[in-house]
Structures are given as C-alpha cells and as structure tokens.
Chains A and B, each alone.
Chain A
Amino acid sequence: MLATSLAASAAVAEENAPLSIGPGAVAISLRVNGVVRTAEVPPHTTLAEALRGSLNLTGTKIGCDRGACSACTVWLDDIPVASCMVLAIDIGDRAVTTIEGLSRGDTLHPVQTAFIAHDAVQCGFCTPGMVMSCAALIARNPNPSLDDVKTAISGHLCRCGTYPHVFAATLAAAKAAKS
C-alpha cells in the first residue's frame, strides 16, 4: 500500500518535473549581428565558444575564460557582457553584437577608426573587447569624461599597456561621432 502510493507520488513528481534537455548537443538559434543563426551545441557551451567554434566569428577573443579580463566582451541587447561567462543556450531572443557587427560594410565604427588613428592597439588580443566596451559607452553617453572611459574599460586587462591610447581614442571617437 505504502509502496504503491510512494510509487504513484514519484510518478506524479516525474510527470510534473519540467522538461530537461541535454547533456548532448541541442539546436539553438542566436540572433548575431542582425542575422538569426542556428547551432548545435551542448548546454555547457559558453556564448564565446559558440561564437568562435560554431559560428566562426573569431573576432571575439577568449583570454582568461573566467570573466576577469573582458577580452571576450560582446553586447547582449547593446549591453557589454563577458561572453565566456554566459551560456549560449541562455541567450534566447536577446540580440548579440560582436566586433564583426560593429562596422557598416567597409566603413569602420568611429571607435575603430579612432583606435587606428591613436595607435591604441599593440598585440591586439584585448582590442576587440576594448572596442566593444568603448563603443557601448559612446552609444549611451555621447559626451564621456576621461573618468567615464576609465570606468567603461575598468574590466579590461591589456598586458601591452595600451590604456592611455585607448582613453584618447575613445574621447576622440565621441567627438567625431557628434560632428
């Protein structure tokens, strides 16, 4: 009797349990740079891995893979995030923008142009992430102060030490974007 009711309640619990997917590859769709793309990835795939591995968008770099260097910064609905610390399966319908989606055809984004003009690149590994953070800053704040720029890139590590050139480039890009 008891065994029967336990089995019955277990069956009810099983029935009420929400649907699980994985651990193998599952089909997901990602809206990246304005285009809906599909990928087959297991649930433990990070957005950074899906972008680079499945979608061949290798402009996004993976540095520390722990959210501590910000090299992998992309936008989710125009907000900069570390793509190594979010799961591809968890993106849903949020729009992903990567460094590949920043230029308009052959026309570079003002921040990219300013990075070149101000020699804000050395080895270049941190650059795509830096550009994404600086472009997000001037999109939401057209008149950033030096402190605003420092705050915007406070999560980025650049072992070449390009920081002063990044500050100058971003301030110049904000000015250029207005004119």
Chain B
Amino acid sequence: MRPFEWIEAASSAEVTAAGATTVADAMVMTNGHRKVSDPTVVKAGGIDLLDLMKEELLQPRRIVNLRGIAGLDKIAGQEGGRLRLGALATVAQLAVDPLVRPYAALADAARNAASPQIRNVATLGGNLLQRPRCWYFRSVHHHCVRKGGETCFAFGGENQYHAIFDHRGCAIVHPSTLATALVAFDARIELTDAAEAKRETALEEFFVLPTRDPHRENDLRAGEIVSAVLLPKLAAGARSAHLKQAEKESFDWPIADVAVVLEADAQGLCRRASVVLGAAAPVPHRARSAGGGAARQAAQ
C-alpha cells in the first residue's frame, strides 16, 4: 500500500472541500493518462478500499474518513412507515437490528455476506459501492475495459463466475449481496452533496450497465456521499427471503443469489412477486417474467 494523506471529515461539506472524487474515476486510465491525477477518495469501513490499495489498483493521494460523521450509522423508522438505514450501519448491524428483521430477505443477505470479521467493519454504503470481484479487473496486469482499457478479458478468458445477462461490453457481476435484497424491496438510495443537499433515487436505477458506462457500476458523482438507503413500508402480509449459493459452505462470494418479496392479499393469495437475481449481471437483475409468473401462479 502506498502512503497517503489522511483527513477526518465531520460533514459531507468537508468531503467536497477536500476535493473527493469517486473510486471509479480514480481508477480509470485511458491511453496512459489517468482520468484524475492524485485523487482524493472517501472511506467508510474501508474494506474494499484497502483491498484495492493493497493490490495497487488504487493509489489515492488523500483519503477522507467518513466514520466520524455523526449519526450516519443510525437505523430508524420514519413517518409514513419507511425505514431509514444510515450508510455507515455495518453489515453485522443489518443482520441483527430488530427494525430490519421484518425485511427478512435483507437480514438474510446481511447474515450470509462475507465473514463475521468483515461484517463487523464493512458498511452498507461501502457494500453498495464496492468494486467488482472480476479477476481481470482485480489484476494489475490486465488493463481491462472497466479500468479504461480496450478489452474485456472475460469474453476470451476464464469466465465461470461472470455475467449471464446484460454483459455487452463488460462481463462483471455486481458484487453486492445486500443490493440483491434491497432492489427486491424497491429500496431508494439517498446521496448528499457539498451543500448538504440530498437527492434520492430508486436503487435499481442508481446502478449502471456497461453499455451506458463501462467505467463505473453506479451513478455516484464526485463530491457526493451515500448517506442512507430507504426501505418502503412493507405491504401487509408481505413475505421475503434471500438465498445464496456459493462454492464453500463457510464464507464465500455467491455464484448465484436470489431475493424474493411476495405480497399477498387478505385471502393469502400472491398479488405481487419481486424477484431479483444477484451475481448474474453487471447490476442486480430483476427477473420480471419470473416475478409475474409467480404472482399469476399463486393467484390461481
């Protein structure tokens, strides 16, 4: 890991004042030129950041620490029945928090992500923004399309863990297990900029396919931080589950995962099914026909 300067931020305004860019922008190099020279990047739990820096894939000049921003780890109910998950809440918190428990698919996904040691440090915001696990992307010896190169090496190379949907231009799968569950619940993401202004967007639309931009997985802008994820009020009688298939029974990345949210009517019949596949595409992949089919079948 290369040396860097360290800044403790007390607010999102200080993040922008420090000139922070996104990790994605900090990693792009085209024709030998870095998109951002001497980048400043933000750190929450720091798990993915340290991994990228230890591999020398990312060499920031400065790191802005978000951990000191007060209240950013709170999980709290809101008026109207929404649940607000602070971006600095750890994955371990999501697995056990009583307010998250009704969103069973999310609690399941959190409980089964990574290892206990990592879950105790990794944050919700960092989990959603982590870079993909593709071994060509993670190799300093492969200047792949996601890092500003010309080629997606997965197409002609080793690709057994790569995307089976929507992989035109780059075959990564989205690395966040939490995102699979959150998208199934139609969660929204809240971003805060320098002026403490907040914008909110559907999490599903926050993620970016390689055909739109192969250099980033999401729509985070320079100087912005993820401040929260918002879960809509659960419909009465809603049930959910998240299942993960990995190669190992202990901690491992999923080779496939799925989150299902079912909404039933007063008679217990399924009226709506939300089915989202993880580790299948460069973004969490909504299986629309499966969702529609489940709803129709249960109703008959």
Contact (Cβ within 8 A) B5 A86: no
Q: Which one of B9, B14, B120, B250 has the highest number of Cβ atoms from chain A below 10 Å of its Cβ?
A: B120
Residues on A with beta carbons closer than 8 Å to the beta carbon of B115: 67-68, 70, 82, 154-155
Closest CB of chain A to B104's CB: distance in Å?
18
Q: How large is the interface on B (under 10, 10 to 19, 20 to 34, 35 or more residues)?
A: 35 or more
A10-18, A30-38, A97-105, A115-123 - the one binding chain B: A10-18
Supposing A65-B54, A67-B51 touch, asked if A44 and B17 sit within 8 A by C-beta, the answer is no
Across the interface, do B6 and A70 meet the contact criterion of CB distance under 8 Å? no
Across the interface, A67 reaches (CB within 8 A) one of B9, B47, B67, namely B47
**Complex: how many Å from CA A172 to CA B47?**
34
Partner of B121 from the list A16, A22, A81 (CB cut-off 8 Å) is: A81
User: Which of B67, B92, B115, B121 has most A Cβ within 10 Å?
Assistant: B115
Is A27 positioned at the interface, with any CB of B under 8 Å from its CB? Answer: no
Query: Which residues does chain B contribute within 8 Å of A13, judged by CB atoms?
Result: 17
Q: How many A-B residue pairs have CB under 8 A?
A: 103
Q: How far is the CA of A95 from the CA of B89 in the complex (A)?
A: 19
Q: Are A43 and B63 also in contact (CB < 8 A) when A23-B5, A66-B51, A67-B51 are?
A: yes
Q: How far is the CA of A16 from the CA of B4 in the complex (A)?
A: 20
Chain B residues positioned under 8 Å from A6 (CB to CB):
none
Which of A89, A133, A155 is B6 in contact with, Cβ under 8 Å?
A89
| Chain A 56-79 per-residue mask, 1 if CB under 8 angstroms from chain B, else 0 | 000000000111101001001001
A65-B54, A90-B67, A154-B250 are known contacts. Are A70 and B5 too (CB-CB below 8 A)?
Answer: no
Known contacts being A16-B17, A22-B3, A155-B251, is A80 close to B116, with CB within 8 Å? yes
| Chain A interface SS verdict (over half) | mixed
Residues of B within 8 A of A16 (CB): 17
Q: From residue A18, how far is it (CB to closest CB) to chain B in Å?
A: 5
Given known A13-B17, A18-B18, contact A80–B4 (CB-CB < 8 A): no
A155 to B116, CA, bound (A): 6
Known contacts A82-B121, A87-B46, A155-B250; is-contact A22 B4 (Cβ 8 Å): yes
The residues of B that contact A19 with a CB separation of less than 8 Å are 7-8
A142 to B10, CA, bound (A): 39
Contacts of B1-41 to chain A: CB distance below 8 A: 1-10, 14, 17-19
Q: Besides A18-B18, A20-B7, A22-B5, 20 other CB < 8 A contacts?
A: A16-B17, A18-B7, A18-B10, A20-B6, A24-B3, A43-B6, A44-B3, A44-B53, A67-B51, A67-B117, A79-B92, A85-B50, A85-B51, A86-B50, A87-B50, A90-B67, A154-B115, A155-B116, A155-B250, A155-B251
A-B contact pairs, 10 of them (CB 8 A): A16-B17, A18-B18, A20-B7, A21-B6, A26-B6, A44-B4, A67-B50, A67-B118, A86-B121, A155-B118
Residues in B lying within 8 Å of A, measured CB to CB: 1-10, 14, 17-19, 43, 46-47, 50-51, 53-54, 62-65, 67, 92, 114-118, 120-121, 250-251
